[in-house]
Amino acid sequence: MEILTLVIIAIGLSMDSLAVSVLSGFCLQRFKKPEALKIALTLGIFQAGMPLVGWFAGLSFRETVADYDHWIAFGILTVLGIKMLIEGCKQQDQRCFNPLNNRTLITMAVGTSIDALAVGVSFAFLDFHILTAVLLIGLVTLVFSLAGLYIGAKVKFRRMRMEIAGGIILILIGVKIVVEHLNGIH
């Protein structure tokens, strides 16, 4: 798979982390670089680790589903994209919380990276260099999270806009995978 597709997937997956980072930045009393780095690194590490876990899980049954793996990847990405669209359209109470609390931070990291686990499963069915994908997803999430923390500290944003964008991106990637497979492009 081409690097541009990986970058687009990484951007789509990082939208949840961007959204919680903006909200976290808004909730922080003051923007301090070490605190921002702690939050962004945690989100990036979890976002990078989950596709790896999903990839290993997907390898265990890849041969069984080789004839329709593109449909599985399409289905996973589409379901995740729709979930993100629905979540993005909901009105959500955006009360402040302490994003530096370790329990809160781990909860945010796991919650924002579950979709990356499912994407990792789809990676097992496609021609991916998993380490490149994992590093790229982690790096993009780190950068987006740092930017989100900074933006949140400076301006009040709405979480829903980012989740909608992420959902659309994941659905489009799923459609691209099916179209390429149907056209014999890999």
Distance from the first to the final alpha carbon of the chain: 7
| CA angle (47 as vertex; 45, 51 as ends), nearest 5 | 115
Question: What are the tokens at 37?
Answer: 């780095």
Residue range 21-46: mean pLDDT, rounded:
89
Read off the pLDDT of residues 7-23 as tens digits, 9 standing for 90 and up: 988 998 898 888 888 87
Write out 47-66 in H/E/C secondary structure.
HHHHHHHHHHHHHCCCHHHH
Tell the residue number behind the tokens 């489009």, with chain if given: 172
Give the predicted TM-score (pTM) of the model.
0.71
**Spatial separation of the C-alpha atoms in residues 40 and 171, rounded to whole Å:** 25
Residue 111 backbone dihedrals phi, psi, to 5 degrees: -60, -35
Query: What's the total number of domains in the chain?
Result: 1
Q: What is the pLDDT of residues 86-122, one digit of tens each?
A: 776 775 555 567 888 898 899 888 888 888 888 888 8
Domain residues for 58?
A: 3-182
